[in-house]
Structure 1
Amino acid sequence: MKHYTKDNFMLAHSVGYLLNKSRNVLVAEMDGALKDLEITSQQMGIMLSLQHRIATTPFELSKLLSIDTGLMTRLLDKLESKGLLKRSRNLEDRRVTDLTLTSAGLAVAKQIPDIAPPVLNARLKRFSKAEFEEFCRLLRLFLGE
């Protein structure tokens, strides 16, 4: 089914516009909440992925978080300069860089679950449980998952 045509397409009503605007609002709110930890929402994604061992290399993080490799390098540089993560060469394949959180990074990552849920819950407060579940289902459908 074609939902858009050249006759009915309007920017402010397009899925892309609505998703992008929603993302920008959420990122701004999350960044504000994370300010005291001195990390951004993008850095939060990296730190949680490393903490839970979901991804442990720059390439895996780039793929998981949909962040291009150039930006990923800059984000990792920033986290490393703050002493929150360390890079090391993979012992089996020297071309691969392994990433781990430092003890300071783990301490910051442990604080994120106290900060992120209230931000998300505030944005979702008008959703019923059923609406929230349907929203998540529809987003997964949109993503092809």
Structure 2
Amino acid sequence: MTFYTQDNYHPANSVGFVLHKAHKRLVADMDAALKGLNVKSQHVGILISLLRRSQARSTTLSRQLGVNPGLMSRMLDSLEALGLLMRSRDRQDRRAVNVRLTDVGRATARRIRELTPEVLNARLHGFTEAEFVELRRLLYKLIEK
């Protein structure tokens, strides 16, 4: 089925525009909640992923989070500069870089894990459970190949 044509397409009414706007609002909400922690919403996935395991390779994080390796390196640089994580070369494969949280990084990631549901639930306020389930189903359907 064709949903858009040259005649009915208006950027401000497109699915892409609405998804982008929703994403920007979620990012703004998350960044506001994280302000006191000196991290940004783009760091949440890295820190939470590392909280769940003792260490991970930077390439694994990049793949898992859908971030290109160059951007991942820059984000890891900033988190390392903040003292939240450490990188080291893998002993079996010197080309690979292992990443792990510092004690400060672990405490920060735990606080993020507390804040994230609050931020998301505030944005989803007013949704019924059925609407939430349907929204997730439709978003996953949209990203399937």
- Please tell me the TM-score bracket, short chain as reference: over 0.9
Moved more, 49-58 or 117-126: 49-58
Moved more, 110-119 or 76-85: 110-119
List 4+ stretches of structure 1 deviating above 3 A: none
Which residue in 2 is equivalent to 1:59?
59
Which residue in 1 is equivalent to 2:82?
82
* Other structure's SS at 1:100 match: strand
Say whether the 8 Å CA contact 2:87–2:100 is kept in structure 1: yes
Structure 1 residue runs without a partner (length 5+): none
Whole-angstrom distance in 2 between the partners of 1:90 and 1:55: 11
- After TM superposition, the structure 1 = structure 2 runs for residues 100-139 of structure 1, keeping only pairs within 5 Å, are 100-139=100-139
- Give the drift of 1:57: 2.1
Gap change, CA 1:130 and 1:54, over 3 Å in 2: farther
TM-score normalized by the length of structure 2: 0.93
Say whether the 8 Å CA contact 2:55–2:101 is kept in structure 1: no
Say whether the 8 Å CA contact 1:55–1:64 is kept in structure 2: no
Moved more, 60-69 or 5-14: 60-69
TM-score normalized by the length of structure 1: 0.93
- Give the drift of 1:39: 0.8
Identity %: 47
Structure 2 residue runs without a partner (length 5+): none
